[in-house]
């Protein structure tokens, strides 16, 4: 376009302004492109996070391989059937996750979490050496232990190896360290009250006095110990295999080990399996999943659990 003779001409000024704006937009594009290639821009990255020697990058692969997002959300992405996992590590700590993930079909008990703290790497990551200090540091773990410990969950038991558990925890540690700028928002639960499960008064009144006062048998003590120490998270009272073998048909059966040898599941074998489960690993089972109860249960308590397993032979007592 050209200007008419005798009239003011603004064509040159407009062209210069357009070129300046275009140049400014180009400069902004170049700066943003360069910034997108920076390593972290102050944000935590998966390669910089590890847990007990396992890195978060491999943990993300485990998370994807087991399709955890099919039920859970993380940073707001995924399904909404199960809780968001973004900040879970920071709330419950590593020992609770170590106890939960191998036997996710049941909520961990206090004893199950305490067993994980016997591992120096787990205790170091948690920053707490005793169960009391741990539950004080991680109130969300204390709440889960108190209200849900020993009860069944809606999550299936996954065939996670010991390494996969720790890799997955490394990934959850990374997601907990992310600066999500408030996303996802915290659910509003103020005023929510859920009553704890309790024996109804009418049912409690029907319990015979002799039952309440009579000393428990070894079988009953073993059943109580199996529940309180978290054994029933991995073992069923029938022949059904969960994480570990079912107890209903275990006593007196022939057990084959990974080295090809075999043994009869008698008192001596069951005692050793409780005290040192990795001494002889059963064929088709993953080692290093069951914690050792040496130093946690005394000889009498181990004998009570063995008596309970013996009583389950052929069905429920």
- Asked if residue 154 and residue 251 are part of one domain, the reply reads no
- Asked if residue 169 and residue 54 are part of one domain, the reply reads yes
Task: Count structural domains, the chain.
Answer: 2
- Note the pLDDT of residue 199: 45
Cβ atoms of 237 and 246 closer than 8 Å? yes
- Asked if residue 170 and residue 99 are part of one domain, the reply reads yes
Domain annotation covers residue 19: no
- Asked if residue 262 and residue 143 are part of one domain, the reply reads no
- Last-in-domain residue among 158, 177, 196: 177
Helix (H, G, I), strand (E, B) or coil at 227: helix
- Asked if residue 128 and residue 243 are part of one domain, the reply reads no
- Asked if residue 133 and residue 57 are part of one domain, the reply reads yes
Mean pLDDT by 10 residues, the chain (317 residues): 64 85 95 77 85 96 96 91 94 97 94 95 96 97 94 92 96 94 71 55 49 79 92 92 92 94 95 94 91 92 94 63
CA distance 79 to 89: 19
Cβ atoms of 274 and 210 closer than 8 Å? no
Domain annotation covers residue 63: yes
Of 262, 227, 228, 261, give the one whose Cα is nearest residue 247: 227
CA angle 83, 85, 90 (to 5 degrees): 125
Rg of the chain (C-alpha set): 29
CA angle 237, 213, 298 (to 5 degrees): 55
pLDDT tens-digit map of 241-291:
999 999 998 999 999 999 999 999 999 999 999 999 999 999 999 898 899
Cβ atoms of 87 and 187 closer than 8 Å? no
- Asked if residue 144 and residue 236 are part of one domain, the reply reads no
Range of the domain at 298: 217-311
| Token pair in block for residue 6 | 């005798």
- Asked if residue 155 and residue 80 are part of one domain, the reply reads yes
Domain annotation covers residue 5: no
CA distance 255 to 50: 38
- Note the pLDDT of residue 317: 40
Domain annotation covers residue 294: yes
316 class by beta-carbon count within 10 Å (0-12 exposed, 13-18 middle, 19+ buried) = exposed
- Note the pLDDT of residue 286: 86
- Asked if residue 255 and residue 161 are part of one domain, the reply reads no
Of 233, 273, 232, 236, give the one whose Cα is nearest residue 102: 233
| Token pair in block for residue 254 | 């022939």
Cβ atoms of 135 and 141 closer than 8 Å? yes
Domain annotation covers residue 90: yes
- Asked if residue 134 and residue 63 are part of one domain, the reply reads yes
Domain annotation covers residue 103: yes
- Asked if residue 57 and residue 171 are part of one domain, the reply reads yes
Domain annotation covers residue 37: no
- Note the pLDDT of residue 192: 62
Cβ atoms of 222 and 304 closer than 8 Å? yes
Domain annotation covers residue 14: no
Q: CATH number of the domain that 58 lies in?
A: 1.10.760.10
- Note the pLDDT of residue 316: 43
pLDDT tens-digit map of 289-315:
899 999 889 999 999 999 999 999 854
H helices of 36-161, in order, are: 56-65, 88-100, 110-116, 120-126, 131-137, 139-148
- Asked if residue 155 and residue 50 are part of one domain, the reply reads yes
DSSP code string of 79-92: -SSS-B-TTHHHHH
Cβ atoms of 107 and 150 closer than 8 Å? yes
């Amino acid at each position: 376009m050209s200007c008419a003779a005798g009239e003011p001409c603004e064509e040159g000024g407009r062209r210069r302004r357009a070129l300046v704006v275009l140049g400014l937009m180009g400069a902004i594009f170049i700066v943003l492109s360069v910034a997108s290639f920076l390593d972290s821009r102050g944000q935590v990255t998966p390669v910089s996070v590890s847990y007990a020697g396992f890195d978060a990058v491999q943990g993300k692969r485990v998370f994807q391989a087991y399709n955890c997002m099919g039920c859970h959300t993380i940073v707001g992405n995924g399904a909404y059937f199960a809780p968001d996992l973004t900040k879970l590590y920071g709330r419950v700590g590593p020992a609770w996750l170590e106890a939960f993930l191998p036997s996710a079909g049941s909520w961990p008990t206090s004893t199950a979490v305490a067993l994980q703290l016997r591992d120096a790497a787990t205790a170091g990551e948690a920053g707490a050496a005793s169960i009391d200090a741990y539950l004080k540091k991680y109130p969300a773990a204390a709440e889960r232990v108190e209200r849900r410990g020993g009860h069944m969950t809606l999550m299936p038991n996954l065939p996670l190896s010991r390494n996969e558990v720790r890799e997955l925890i490394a990934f959850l540690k990374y997601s907990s360290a992310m600066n999500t700028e408030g996303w996802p928002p915290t659910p509003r639960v103020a005023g929510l009250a859920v009553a704890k499960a309790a024996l109804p008064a009418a049912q409690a009144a029907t319990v015979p006095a002799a039952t309440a006062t009579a000393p428990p048998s070894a079988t009953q003590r073993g059943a109580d110990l199996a529940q309180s120490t978290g054994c029933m998270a991995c073992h069923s009272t029938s022949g059904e295999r969960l994480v570990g073998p079912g107890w209903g048909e275990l006593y007196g059966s022939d057990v084959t080990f990974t080295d090809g040898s075999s043994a009869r599941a008698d008192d001596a074998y069951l005692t050793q399996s409780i005290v040192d489960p990795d001494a002889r690993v059963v064929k088709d089972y993953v080692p290093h999943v069951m914690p050792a109860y040496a130093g946690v249960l005394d000889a009498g308590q181990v004998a009570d659990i063995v008596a309970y397993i013996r009583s389950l032979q052929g069905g429920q007592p």
